[in-house]
Chain A
């Protein structure tokens, strides 16, 4: 039999790309196929500075009659003032819906929707982003409106109140889906009182404490166009786009970053949310890494092998394929401007909860104690480098790649050196990354499930502390 575990196969596969030859008889194994080389030709995304000082990443491409534009601001929910959680998301929503420039909210909606210009504004922990996608023929009509939303939003009081009502209802419903509950409460367990702890949408009662002054101040401090990063891609005339942006944006500066340092690492603790569900919903983890961590590639390749690579990863192979315990079992490092999260997640019937959790902890321990195999390492690295081409699948994705580097403070040659950085990761690097970045002894373990059916009990993982989360039919949550 063909031995696919041989370490040289990985290196050979990359060389193969250069060695095109006439088609041989059908290969006995697909990795033996002689395939033509791939010409990777990432488009040249240009960076220029607008008059206000903000960078604009730009790529003209006439393949499709589409125009895409976006702006990124370091203005995510991490900057929500305490007690006013959800402010960033409220501002993001209402710069779109509250009217802007000369147009009231309804006129703005009609103007954009008649030309089918898709404008969306979103907030996450790090950023408020705005994006526009329209037919290129409408770019000159839609782009100034998007600029007005950023520079001259009206925050119509009716639309602000409407959004607050919606947010109150979303928060009222937040305990409907177990998956949503464990994700939210896990974040709170790990981050404690940190600005990364709360849900982007907000907390109960917070909407009542947000006034017009808060909205205007947040917009003025954090969403000044001069402090943003912009991108434009597709079928457009660059001079026109630059003229529109320069005409719209003034040079007002943005407030400083001012994020506190991340919280200290916690200790091993087990938390149980009681609910009569079919499955136990399990999440385990701790603080992770920043997006600009120098170990980024080593950590990501380690995670790919541990649990990030789906069926190529150890945890899914054991929990799902070998044991049939769960449909979904995975690990992830979410990276942010500041330390993100590391977590492993899985859902299994109550009776097998302890078994699944034990396997997850064993695999985290194993990758910290012995080197990954040459085949695992080669597979993970090839997956990263061979899928690199998809980062440039559309003009807009190429521009987004370039702009996100600057947003996260990554070096300008990041993409040029990407393949070399991946290729340079060794089994020793993976082991070192696992030891430095995985801490099962300090992990928060959170389980939502039916205590009476979880057997053996969760106490084997540490003292179990109950956490009360009201059910959907409970009276409204009090303020935290």
Chain B
């Protein structure tokens, strides 16, 4: 991407200083480079401090899975911390046959236990002894968590990974001089990951599921909401996967998923910080350039059919009442997205928002009420949720939300309210420019779901939204007939 000279010099452009609609929108000067193997490299200079935030995004998420293998993308994300042929081992040649044997033994023990034949217990017991010995030998050859330890030692913060419905992000912020260390490690595991300790990690993921979903009413609520609002599109299953699927995912399945989806041509490297773009490109060529590309992942072809009629789910959970109304909406970079963002802000941002004034202050039926709408590549959800205040019921709250939405669809918002919402969105955008890790996430996420340049169009698009657009968005998308209501009564 070539930009005018003045813009390049300013590198990290901040032109938001003037007032309201008259001011120039803030712009990011992201350098784009594409390696021959198809890897996209995006670099944004940010000179506030001598730090750098580094991420690789893979264009794969739970939406790329299929029934029976839900959760495999998230499980793969966990396995990516287990090392490579060079990281995590004292002797890979000695370790490799053990990894294979351990995996075989686990699978055979699993088969025997599931078969429940007479004498199965004894057979499994014998194998378990062999397994324990193989694991002991393998453990002695491993350097546990070496990738993590190296990065932490060199000052990493924000070290983590996220699996989403459309994307998987591996992130890390480092002192700026450690950029090459990150390149070494991240390219090494893109090309050469070794999945040690698969069965232990699968057990960890099952514990993660128990913790974040099964033992958490809020987690279960969110999971069931998507499962009800979608009947066909793969957004319907949870990112972490169904427990029975996770239990049956095998190491070869994960290895295949890795080969296909973690190819350089399916990845975006994003670097934000006190760096020189040409130097970043040189390092990226050097470390990532050798990794071969792969055939493209098959696209997600399933489209959610139009919803015919309202859906209602009442969850029987040991938890206090809550309610959510979920509506289908177009993707986050679609033409109507800006109007929906303004609509969301009018409904939900701050004490002067419609939901707060209408439900919390006015009718006093709820203690909180807000809208969330995830950043998504495919048509997703616009979710209004609220926490009722006793003695008011979920029905009272649902009716109140409906009334607020109907009012917005009927009567255009006033000038003050429209401008306030735009100011809030724009100020939030400017605030996000302060943090390298936040910028890294924004640039990579929009590149994956659309293209990063959307960020530079964002504020102008928001400014162009009219009161009529907001009312139309409410009418078109927030209809009672296409709503999925989920409640804990």
Contacts and interface: CB of A to CB of B under 8 A. Distances in A.
Our verdict on whether A and B bind, yes or no, reads: yes
Interface of A: 1, 4, 10, 13, 17, 26-31, 33, 35-41, 61, 63-66, 97, 109-110, 113-116, 118, 133-137, 162, 165-166, 169-170, 172-173, 176-179, 277-279, 281, 309-312, 317, 320-328, 347-349, 378-379, 382-383, 385-390, 392-396, 471-473
Contact of B153 (A65, A136, A169, A382): A382
B255 interface: no
B173 interface: yes
Contact of A386 (B144, B153, B202, B426): B153
Contact of B211 (A328, A393, A471): A328
Contacts of A172: 320, 390
A324 B50 contact: no
Contact of B218 (A64, A177, A389): A177
B155 interface: yes
6 contacts: A66-B434, A312-B148, A379-B153, A389-B175, A393-B48, A394-B434
Contact of A279 (B181, B207, B360, B436): B207
B226 to A, nearest CB: 20
B152 A176 contact: no
A208 to B, nearest CB: 15
Interface stretch (B14-22, B263-271, B306-314): B14-22
A165 B367 contact: yes
Highest count of chain B CB atoms <10 Å: which of A35, A325, A349, A392: A35
Interface string B151-167: 01111110100000000
A349 B91 CA distance: 34
Contacts of A165: 364, 367, 389
A1 B90 contact: yes
B210 interface: yes
Interface stretch (B36-44, B65-73, B416-424): B416-424
Interface string B207-242: 110111011111000000000000000000000000
B200 A322 contact: yes
Nearest to A392: B49
Interface string B169-184: 0000101111011001
B430 A64 contact: yes
Contacts of A13: 153-154
A38 B367 contact: no
A403 B427 CA distance: 26
Nearest to A310: B148
Interface string B124-168: 000000000000000100011110111011111101000000000
Highest count of chain A CB atoms <10 Å: which of B49, B351, B364, B387: B49
A155 to B, nearest CB: 16
A63 B146 contact: no
Highest count of chain B CB atoms <10 Å: which of A26, A110, A309, A393: A393
B207 A349 contact: yes
A277 B210 CA distance: 9
B423 A278 contact: no
B352 interface: yes
A64 B14 contact: yes
B241 to A, nearest CB: 14
Given A115-B427, A135-B16, A279-B207, 7 more contacts: A4-B146, A31-B150, A35-B181, A312-B148, A324-B207, A326-B204, A386-B175
Nearest to A109: B351
Contacts of A135: 16, 427, 430
A136 B424 CA distance: 14
B440 interface: no
Contacts of B18: 137
B90 A65 contact: no
Contacts of B86: 28-29
A65 B215 CA distance: 44
B435 interface: yes
A267 to B, nearest CB: 30
A26 B320 contact: no
Interface string B344-380: 0000011110000000110010011000000000000
Nearest to A29: B86
A311 B204 CA distance: 13
Contact of A169 (B200, B349, B367, B436): B367
A63 B12 CA distance: 9
Please name the 10 residue pairs, one residue from A and one from B, whose CB atoms are nearest each other, closest first. A386-B155, A116-B427, A324-B200, A324-B203, A327-B208, A311-B148, A311-B145, A278-B210, A387-B155, A38-B177
A27 B184 contact: yes
Contacts of B203: 324-325
B351 A311 contact: no
A106 to B, nearest CB: 8
A113 B420 contact: yes
B419 A114 contact: yes
Contact of B210 (A35, A347, A390): A347
B359 to A, nearest CB: 12
A115 B48 CA distance: 25
Contacts of B210: 278-279, 347, 349
A60 to B, nearest CB: 14
B47 interface: yes
B216 A63 contact: no
Contact of A383 (B155, B184, B423): B155
A110 B86 CA distance: 59
Contacts of A347: 207, 210-211, 215
Contacts of A36: 177
Interface string B248-276: 00000000000000000000000000000
Contacts of A326: 204, 207
A115 B287 CA distance: 46
Contacts of B427: 115-116, 118, 134-135
Contacts of A110: 352
B199 interface: yes
Contacts of B19: 137
Nearest to A448: B215
